Amino acid sequence: MQNLYKPDLMEVIGVRQHTSDVKSISLRFQDPERARQFTFVVGQFGIFSAFGAGESTFNICSSSNWRDHIEFCFRKVGRVTEALWQVEEGDTVGFRGAYGRGYPVEEWRGKDLIFLGGGIAMPPIRCAIWYALENREDYGKITVVYGARTVGDLVFVDELAQWAQHPRVQVIQCVDPGGQTPDWSGEIGFVPTVFERAQVPAGGAVSLVIGPPIMIKNTIPVLERMGARMSDVYTSLENRMKCGVGKCGRCNAGPVYVCKEGPVFTFQELQAMPLDY
């Protein structure tokens, strides 16, 4: 009998610590056959688990082109993430997925891409950035504006520098005023302000905006001023989930089950949904 809730067992093949409370973990399927068949779309999520602590929902933050492993990133805030924090190379964790609707990367072809992220929201953007860079000829100019409260809160910092090496890619890093260090070479300011200063034409572009609600709230008007259509502006919701497959009944935002119909939505779609996220 097929058990919907039984996870794949994954071997931990790498752990990276990004900040004092953020880590990312690389996983490989223990079952080689499952590893061969597994595919996903960037933007989809998984339910990751530490046995004895429980399950939690995270975006798969690696590119879907990386066939040998997947990655996820988390902040240590609760029971499950405390247990995942202890995980070392060679350990086993559980994974269910990939679930949900990812980014429509095919529809994005031929367009400029604008990625706007705040704090711990970089992982669900990072998968799309790598995907776009690996399919570089399919996409136009790529702009990344990534900010955090302080320099110490930025994640995947080494990769930000790598992305900037690619042709037609602009990466702007920023920290909130007061969050800079003496040797900080990036911008100082909030993501919406820094983005507006950069004057990136957003008219025909696809934008992906993920971050704390206040960042999103202030970024949307900037995008509108810069000509973005709300049907081309995407985000990823993070309503609490348990099952990931439309049964446990908690992730609905209005009539929409975030686990199945999301987590990726355009702002045009969000505007039609009640504020239930």
Partner 1 sequence: MTALTHDALRKLVGEWMAAGKICVGPVEVKPGVVLFQRLASPQDLLLDGWVRPANSIKELLLPRHEVLYGYRVEKNRIELVDQPETVPEQIAICAHPCDAAALPILDKVFNWDFRDEAYNARRQATTVITLGCTRHDDECFCTSVGLGPLAERGSDAMLFDYGDGSFAVSSLTEKGRALLGEAQAAGGHTDAPPVRFDPKEAARFAVDHFADPFWQQHALACVGCGACAYTCPVCHCFDIVDEGNGRHGVRARNWDACQFPLFTLHASGHNPRHGQGDRQRQRIYHKFYVYPEKFGETLCTGCGNCARNCPVGLGVLPLVTEIPHAEPVQA
Choosing from 65, 67, 78, 181, the residue that interacts with partner 1 (CB under 8 A) is: 78
Helices (H), the chain: 32-37, 79-85, 122-134, 157-164, 191-198, 213-225, 258-261, 267-271
Restricting to residues 200-219, which ones interact with partner 1 according to CB under 8 A?
Answer: 212-213
E strands in 168-210:
169-175, 187-188, 206-210
φ/ψ (deg, to 5) at 213 = -50, -40
Torsion sign, CA atoms 147, 264, 12, 75: positive
Restricting to residues 17-76, which ones interact with partner 1 according to CB under 8 A?
Answer: 49, 51-56, 75
Residue 135 is which amino acid?
Answer: N
How many residues line the site for partner 1 (CB under 8 A)?
47
Choosing from 33, 37, 90, 137, the residue that interacts with partner 1 (CB under 8 A) is: 90
> Which tokens belong to 40?
């996903």
| Closer residue to partner 1, CB minimum distance, 96 or 142 | 96
Only one of the segments 63-71, 194-202, 245-253, 264-272 lies at the binding site for partner 1 (rule: CB under 8 A); that segment is 245-253
| 14 touching partner 1, by CB under 8 A | no
| Closer residue to partner 1, CB minimum distance, 77 or 161 | 77
| 101 touching partner 1, by CB under 8 A | no
Choosing from 236, 252, 265, 270, the residue that interacts with partner 1 (CB under 8 A) is: 252
Task: Report the distance separating Cα 16 and Cα 229, nearest Å.
Answer: 37
Radius of gyration of the chain (CA): 18
Task: Report the distance separating Cα 204 and Cα 10, nearest Å.
Answer: 41
**125-164 footprint of partner 1 as x/- string (CB under 8 A):** ----------------------------------------
Task: Report the distance separating Cα 128 and Cα 134, nearest Å.
Answer: 10
Could you tell me the smallest distance in angstroms from the CB atom of residue 257 to partner 1?
Answer: 8
| Closer residue to partner 1, CB minimum distance, 221 or 274 | 274
| 243 touching partner 1, by CB under 8 A | yes
| 239 touching partner 1, by CB under 8 A | yes
Could you tell me the smallest distance in angstroms from the CB atom of residue 225 to partner 1?
Answer: 25
Task: Report the distance separating Cα 232 and Cα 142, nearest Å.
Answer: 15
Q: At what angle do helices 122-134 and 157-164 cross, to 10 degrees?
A: 30
- Which residues are at the interface with partner 1 (CB under 8 A)? 1-7, 9, 49, 51-56, 75, 77-78, 81, 88, 90-92, 94, 212-213, 238-240, 242-243, 245-250, 252-255, 257, 260, 274-277
